[in-house]
Structure 1
C-alpha cells in the first residue's frame, strides 16, 4: 500500500529524548535538531519515531525494546544509543562493560530478528567543568562520568557493532575531531547543543550511506507522485494508492 510507511526508530537515553528539542540552550534561540532534520530528510518516505528515555541504561532498554516493537510495526532502521549512563560510576546507573556489551548484542539481535537495520551509537564526550555547577548534588553522591569511561564504552560498542555486522557511529572520535571547539557541542557538559546534534546527524547519514545505502533519503521511495500528475478531479489517484 502506497501510504504504508516504514519507520526510522530512534532508541536511546536522554540524548535521544531531546532529539526534537530546538532550545537546548537557555538563550531562547532555536537550534538544529536531530529529530526534525531526520523527519525532513525522510518526509513522505519514512516515519521518524523517537523513543528516548532520560537516565535509562542498556540494562533497562532490554525490557523496553520488546514492548516498543509490539507497538511500532514496520520498523525498517533503528538507532541504539546508550552508554552515557551505563558508564556512570554510581550503582543506580552503572552497567559494567561486559554486561553493556552483552546488552547491546541482545538489543541488536531483537531488531535483527524483525529485519531491522541497526545503527549502534557510542557515547561522545563529557565536559566535567560545564556539567558540575548544575549537577553538584548528583556528582557529590557519586554520579561520576568521565571521558575515560566514555572512551571505554564507545570502544566496547564499536566491538559489538563489528561482531554483529551493523553500522556504528563513533561520536567519541567525531567530537574529538572538532579540536578545542568540542565543548561547544554540549549545552550542559552532557547533552548536545544544536551543533552537537548536527554533527550526529551527519555522522548518522555517513554510516547509513556506508552500510545501508538503500535507506539514504535519496534512495527511499517518495510516497505518491507530484501533484501536477494528479487529475483535477483526483480520478487517477486511486491507481497510486
Structure 2
C-alpha cells in the first residue's frame, strides 16, 4: 500500500487560520474543526490548512494560484473556499463590493475545479455585533463595521455561485440560525470566530456535505492505511 496521502485543502480567512486553535475558545467545549478533521481523516487523508487572517476574496485570488502551483504534484483531492466575513465589511480596506465578491469567488471555484479538486463553497455564518464591537473598538473607529444583513447578502451570493458552478454549498448562516435558536450568540467566541459549539456545527455540516456530494471522500469510505497494530505479524511481513 502506498503511503502517499490525498489532501483536503482548507482555504479561507481567520476562521480557517484558527481552525486548530482550541486555545482561543473560551467555552468548556473547546472543539476545533481543524483538529476534528485531522482526527477523523487520520491515516486516510492529509488536512492542508491554508488560512489567512483578515484576508478577503480579492487577496485570495493572489494566493490560490501559488498554492496550486506549489502543491501541483501533491494530489489535492478536495478543498473548501471560505471567505466573506471580511469582504462584507461596510468600510475599511478589507471591504469587497458584492458584485466583485461574486466575480472573485467564481474565479476561485473555477481554479479549484480546473485543477481536478472536488470543491466545496462555504458562506459566512452569523455576526454578534454587540460582542464584536465591545472588544474591537479600534476596528469600529476605523470603519471596519459589519452587520447581520451583509453577512446574509454575502452568504446568499455564495449559494448562488455554488449553484451556478455546480458545487456544494455549506450554508452556515442558515445552520447557525436554525441550530443556535435563541442562543445563537453562543456559537461565536468573539462575535465572528466560532466557539466550540459553533465549530462543531460547522464540522458536522461540512461532513454532511461531503457525504452527500463526494461520498468517495467521506472518512468512513477511505481506506485506512496499513493494518491495525493488532493485525501486524510479529515479523511485520504483512506491512505492504
**TM-score if structure 1 supplies the norm length?**
0.94
Q: Runs of 4 or more off by more than 3 Å in structure 1? A: none
Q: Residues 143-186 of structure 1, C-alpha deviation per residue, up to 9 Å, x if partnerless? A: 11001000000000000000111110000001111211110011
The answer to whether residue 87 in structure 2 is matched with residue 86 in structure 1 is: yes
Match of 1:110 in 2: 111
Report what 1:17 is aligned to.
17
| Structure 2 residue aligned with 1:185 | 187
Query: In structure 2, do the counterparts of structure 1 residues 25 and 38 end up closer, same or farther at CA, with 3 Å as the change threshold?
Result: closer
Q: Is the 8 A contact 1:24 1:194 kept in 2?
A: no
Q: Is the 8 A contact 2:126 2:151 kept in 1?
A: yes
- SS of the residue corresponding to residue 23 of structure 1 reads helix
Structure 2 matches for 1:45-194, cutoff 5 A? 45-72=44-71, 73-177=74-178, 178-194=180-196
How many matched pairs? 237
Unaligned runs of 5+ in 1: none
Please identify, of 149-158 and 132-141, the stretch whose mean Cα deviation from structure 2 is larger. 132-141
Aligned to 1:208: 210
- 8 Å Cα contact 1:120/1:157 also seen in 2: yes
Check whether the contact 2:20–2:34 (CA below 8 A) recurs between aligned residues. Answer: yes
Contact 1:55 1:85 in 2 (8 A): yes
2:49 is paired with a residue of what secondary structure? strand
SS of corresponding position for 1:65 = helix
Which structure 2 residues correspond to residues 216-227 of structure 1 after superposition, within 5 A?
216-227=218-229
TM-score between both structures, scaled by the size of structure 2 = 0.95
Equivalent position SS for 1:191: coil
Distance 1:58 1:39 in 2: 25
The separation in 1 between residues aligned to 2:22 and 2:133, in whole angstroms, is 23
Closer, same or farther in 2 for the Cα pair 1:218/1:26, shift >3 Å?
closer
Q: Is the 8 A contact 2:37 2:47 kept in 1?
A: yes
Are the equivalent residues in 2 in contact too, given 1:2–1:224 (CA < 8 A)?
Answer: no
Q: CA deviation at 1:75?
A: 0.7
Structure 1 position 70, deviation (Å): 2.1
In the aligned structure 2, how far is the partner of 1:26 from the partner of 1:184? 10
Map Cα deviations across residues 197-231 of structure 1 (whole Å, 9 max, x no partner).
Answer: 00000010111111111111001111112234332
